[in-house]
């Protein structure tokens, strides 16, 4: 898919929305709009996800040997390589000799795959590093004990999260594993501990 087709798809997305302003298009394309009071996450449509997937995909030559030969010729032919002219010639010449391309989808970041997840819950170091590269956000390791405000916040939030603690086979879900990584045995336990930690921290401020 070329840039012109992607632009057409972006226009189609804009038409689906109540307003066609640039800000709104950015929002439905997945950029979060931050108000002074609160950040709101917006749900991506299937069309938006398809566009993002295509933009991350890349054209890969199916005949690598032919492509390598044509690329070597391009380097000799043009004084500047890579360049727009050299790249255009390379693609045109490769196709004229029977070469074809296939679309290869970009691999999802490590924090969304098993290799970036800690078997005991949450993300491992690789997953946290991947998350930071992708989003700019910093995720710190879990705090399993003590009155750290981060721990209270996490337990309160996850203790009220929907979803089961165990799957159909009785195995702990990622939700329960995450709670255990922060020192809670269940959602109810997480809520109790979050409340107790917050109360202790408040008393410390008063004393």
State residue 41's pLDDT score: 45
Mean per-residue pLDDT over the chain, rounded: 78
* Residue 98 tokens, joined: 């029977």
| Residue 114 is assigned to a structural domain of this protein | no
Domain end, chosen from 33, 56, 79, is at 56
Least confident of 53-57, 86-90, 109-113, 138-142: 53-57
Among 38, 56, 74, the domain boundary falls at 56
Q: Which pLDDT score, from 0 to 100, does residue 132 have?
A: 87
What percentage of the chain exceeds 90 in pLDDT? Answer: 46
Task: Report CA dihedral (45, 47, 53, 57) to the nearest 10 degrees.
Answer: -170
| 5 close to 51: Cβ distance less than 8 angstroms | no
pLDDT for res 120: 80
Q: How far apart are CA 149 and CA 166, in angstroms?
A: 27
- Domain assignment present for residue 78? The answer is no
Query: In the prediction, which pLDDT does 25 show?
Result: 28
In a domain, 154, yes or no: yes
Q: Supply the DSSP string of 113-178, one letter for each residue.
A: SGGGB-TTSSB-HHHHHHHHHHHS---PPP--SS--HHHHHHHHHHHT--S-SB-TTSPBPHHHHH
In a domain, 92, yes or no: no
Three-state DSSP class for residue 45: coil
What region does 183 belong to: left with phi over 0, alpha with psi -120 to 50, or beta?
left
Domains in the chain, number? 2
Which of these, 118, 131, 70, lies nearest to 97 by C-alpha position?
70
Q: Look up the domain containing 181 and give its range.
A: 142-207
As given in the structure block, the two tokens for residue 40 are 């709101």
Compute φ and ψ for 5, nearest 5 degrees.
-70, -35
Separation of alpha carbons 74 and 97, rounded Å: 14
Q: 181 lies in a domain? A: yes
pLDDT score of 47: 54
In a domain, 99, yes or no: no
In a domain, 71, yes or no: no
**Residue pair 184/152 in contact by the 8 Å Cβ criterion:** no
Better pLDDT: 183 or 10: 183
Question: How many helices (H) does the chain have, and how many strands (E)?
Answer: 9, 4
Domain end position, chosen among 56, 84, 103? 56
Task: List, for residues 15-55, the tens digit of each pLDDT value.
Answer: 444 333 333 323 223 333 334 444 444 444 555 555 555 55
What is the pLDDT, as a whole number, of residue 14?
A: 45
What whole-number distance in Å separates Cα of residue 170 and Cα of residue 165?
9
The pLDDT, as a whole number, for residue 106 is 67
What percentage of the chain carries pLDDT values higher than 70? 72
Q: What is the pLDDT of residues 141-200, one digit of tens each?
A: 889 999 999 999 999 999 999 999 999 999 999 999 999 999 999 999 999 999 999 999
**What pLDDT score was predicted for residue 29?**
31
């Amino acid at each position: 898919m070329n840039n012109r087709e992607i632009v057409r798809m972006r226009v189609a997305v804009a038409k689906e929305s109540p307003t066609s302003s640039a800000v709104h298009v950015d929002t439905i394309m997945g950029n979060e709009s931050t108000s002074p009071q609160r950040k709101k996450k917006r749900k991506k449509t299937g069309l938006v996800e398809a566009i993002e997937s295509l933009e991350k995909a890349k054209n890969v030559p199916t005949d690598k040997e032919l492509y390598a030969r044509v690329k070597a010729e391009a380097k000799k032919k043009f004084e500047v390589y890579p360049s727009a002219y050299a790249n255009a010639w390379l693609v045109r010449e490769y196709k004229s000799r029977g070469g074809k391309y296939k679309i290869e989808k970009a691999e999802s970041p490590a924090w969304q795959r098993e290799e970036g997840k800690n078997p005991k819950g949450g993300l491992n170091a690789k997953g946290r590093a991947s998350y930071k590269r992708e989003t700019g956000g910093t995720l710190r390791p879990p705090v399993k004990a003590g009155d750290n405000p981060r721990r209270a916040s996490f337990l309160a939030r996850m203790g009220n999260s929907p979803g089961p603690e165990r799957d159909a086979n009785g195995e702990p879900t990622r939700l329960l594993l995450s709670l255990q990584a922060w020192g809670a045995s269940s959602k109810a336990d997480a809520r109790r501990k979050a409340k107790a930690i917050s109360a202790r921290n408040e008393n410390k401020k008063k004393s």
